[in-house]
């Protein structure tokens, strides 16, 4: 981890002491109006819509999103820059992560969790992570396994794609290191911070194809490479990247390499080793047919609590307003804190404040719950930085200082709101 991350953590501690902040919360110190929040974005060098951290923060500031949580895969060095840029633009930054895990018994049963194409595969997030500098020995080991498995898989997929392109008439000569260097050039990051994703690889091969083949010849070349007729425009880079993934890189396709995942207990353990809140990302009607694990919502609530998870998040751009409202309000009523974000994990420059399918606004009652969830994350992050129990303890159990889940969420949200307002007051004074 970089020294800048250490400085960031120190800055957050310096906002005030725990008792001071609890007193402010008890006095009702909070923003006069609810801030716009986004509790899940990916920052480069993760594949995202942004060219840089500054790009993401500037877009959030221009759209008046004042609380922003980065949720990167498997490397956190960029968080130092994120918090520094956020402070400059008066945005309250939150730390998070996202992990892909596997539940073998659900694979065998064909049960889809929150990945509509892969039974048993489960995305799980960590919110309010703070133990990122230095990493514990166990966190370093788990991250090392995940990154090592991903790197081996991506290297093999790049090699297979390169062979396919060459055999089908376009010799681009790409290897894994060249793809990593493409990411480094684009985002100005250290190569050690790059965790290649399928989208990075597809983009690299699309760009190499564009260099080798003129627009007039691309449809024919792509038809041969993909093994299906390509009929879209020759300049549609994002469409072509998607076609490369769909026809060459997915399960059953010639460049596919089977993933190696941590299991769910290991993923949850990693989140707790990082000091975070395990958080279940809910897909709901983001799948054409809602995943078996997630329907009905009452069964999903039982599943989530059965996993010892006490926070969920949704990405509303996938959801119809009425479905979003149904899931969010019922989960919140069950004593589960709820957050909402956008991901921004494609090249699409969607708005920074979450909206529903087709740009429909998120209902106001859901926005209130998302704001509350962001405040809970802020409070957890603050408390754990002061070596106190946050929303959950080090084993993932709910903080037992409260009489009920409702009290826990409410009091944590008040503390987080006081902290956020303190941050804005102090940054305005500087």
CATH number for position 285? 3.20.20.140
Range of the domain at 155: 143-249
Range 313-327 average pLDDT: 98
The last residue of a domain, from among 249, 266, 296 = 249
Same domain, yes or no: 287 and 416: yes
- In a shared domain, residues 71 and 105: yes
Inside any domain, residue 192: yes
Q: What does the pLDDT look like over 152-195, one tens digit per residue?
A: 999 999 999 999 999 999 999 999 999 999 999 989 888 988 98
pLDDT of residue 176: 95
Q: Determine the pLDDT at residue 169.
A: 97
Least confident interval from 4-8, 13-17, 142-146, 185-189: 4-8
pLDDT of residue 6: 66
Are residues 420 and 287 both part of a single domain?
A: yes
Residue 8: band (very low, low, confident or very high) from pLDDT cuts 50, 70, 90: low
Look up tokens 């793809």; give the residue: 179
List of residues 6+ apart from 167 with CB closer than 8 A: none
Q: Are residues 279 and 412 in the same domain?
A: yes
Same domain? 284 vs 399: yes
The answer to whether residue 258 sits within a structural domain is: no
* Same domain membership, residue 232 and residue 149: yes
91 plus 49 within the same structural domain: yes
Both 114 and 154 in one domain: the answer is: no
Task: Using alpha carbons, list the distances in angstroms from residue 370 to 83, 86, 105, 334.
Answer: 21, 20, 32, 15
Residues 289 and 333 in one domain: yes
Q: Do 303 and 189 lie in a common domain?
A: no
Instruction: Give 121-159 pLDDT, tens digit per residue.
Output: 999 999 999 999 889 999 999 999 999 999 999 999 999
Q: How many domains does the chain have?
A: 2
Query: Does the residue 351 lie in any domain?
Result: yes
Measured between alpha carbons, how far is residue 300 from residues 153, 307, 334 in Å?
A: 32, 11, 11
Angle, helices 198-212/215-226, rounded to nearest 10 degrees: 130
Q: Is residue 282 part of a domain?
A: yes
For residue 428, pLDDT over 90 is answered with no
Q: What is the pLDDT of residue 430?
A: 59
**Contact status, residue 97 vs residue 66, Cβ threshold 8 Å:** no
Are 163 and 227 within one domain? yes
- pLDDT of 2: 47
Residue 263 lies in a domain: no
Assess if residue 10 is contained within a domain: no
CA–CA dist 205, 158 (Å, integer): 9
- Asked if residue 311 has pLDDT above 70, the reply is yes
13 occurs within a structural domain? no
233, 249, 265 - which closes a domain: 249
Residues 278, 425 within the same domain: yes
Model confidence pLDDT, tens digit, residues 337-383: 999 999 999 999 999 999 999 999 999 999 999 999 999 999 999 99
């Amino acid at each position: 981890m970089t020294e800048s991350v250490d400085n960031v953590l120190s800055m957050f501690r310096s906002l005030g002491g725990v008792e001071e902040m609890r007193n402010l919360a008890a006095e009702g110190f909070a923003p006069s109006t609810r801030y716009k929040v986004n509790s899940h974005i990916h920052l480069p060098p993760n594949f995202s819509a942004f060219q840089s951290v500054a790009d993401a923060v500037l877009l959030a500031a221009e759209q008046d999103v004042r609380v922003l949580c980065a949720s990167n895969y498997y490397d956190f060095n960029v968080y130092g820059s994120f918090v520094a840029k956020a402070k400059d633009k008066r945005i309250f930054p939150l730390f998070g992560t996202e992990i892909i895990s596997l539940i073998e018994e659900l694979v065998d049963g064909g049960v889809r969790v929150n990945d509509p194409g892969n039974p048993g595969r489960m995305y799980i997030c960590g919110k309010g992570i703070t133990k990122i500098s230095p990493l514990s020995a166990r966190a370093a080991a788990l991250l090392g396994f995940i990154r090592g498995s991903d790197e081996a898989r991506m290297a093999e997929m790049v090699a297979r794609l390169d062979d396919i392109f060459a055999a089908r008439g376009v010799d681009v000569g790409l290897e894994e290191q060249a793809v990593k260097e493409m990411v480094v050039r684009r985002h100005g990051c250290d190569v050690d911070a790059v965790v290649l994703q399928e989208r990075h690889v597809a983009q690299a091969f699309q760009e190499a194809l564009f260099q080798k083949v003129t627009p007039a010849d691309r449809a024919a070349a792509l038809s041969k490479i993909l093994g299906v007729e390509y009929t879209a425009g020759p300049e549609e880079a994002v469409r072509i990247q998607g076609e490369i993934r769909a026809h060459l890189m997915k399960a059953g396709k010639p460049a596919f390499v089977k993933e190696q995942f941590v299991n769910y207990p290991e993923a949850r353990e990693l989140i707790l080793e990082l000091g975070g809140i395990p958080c279940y990302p809910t897909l709901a009607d983001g799948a054409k047919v809602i995943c078996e694990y997630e329907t009905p919502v009452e069964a999903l609530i039982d599943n989530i609590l059965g996993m010892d998870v006490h926070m969920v998040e949704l990405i509303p751009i996938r959801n119809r307003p009425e479905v979003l409202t149904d899931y969010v309000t019922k989960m919140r009523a069950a004593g589960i804190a709820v957050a909402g974000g956008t991901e921004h994990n494609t090249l699409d420059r969607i708005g920074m404040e979450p909206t529903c399918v087709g740009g429909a606004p998120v209902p106001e009652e859901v926005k209130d719950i998302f704001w509350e969830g962001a405040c809970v994350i802020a409070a957890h992050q603050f408390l754990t930085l002061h070596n106190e129990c946050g929303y959950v303890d080090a084993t993932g159990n709910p903080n037992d200082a409260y009489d009920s889940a409702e009290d826990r969420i409410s009091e944590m949200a008040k503390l987080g709101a006081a902290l956020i307002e303190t941050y804005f007051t102090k940054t305005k004074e500087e």
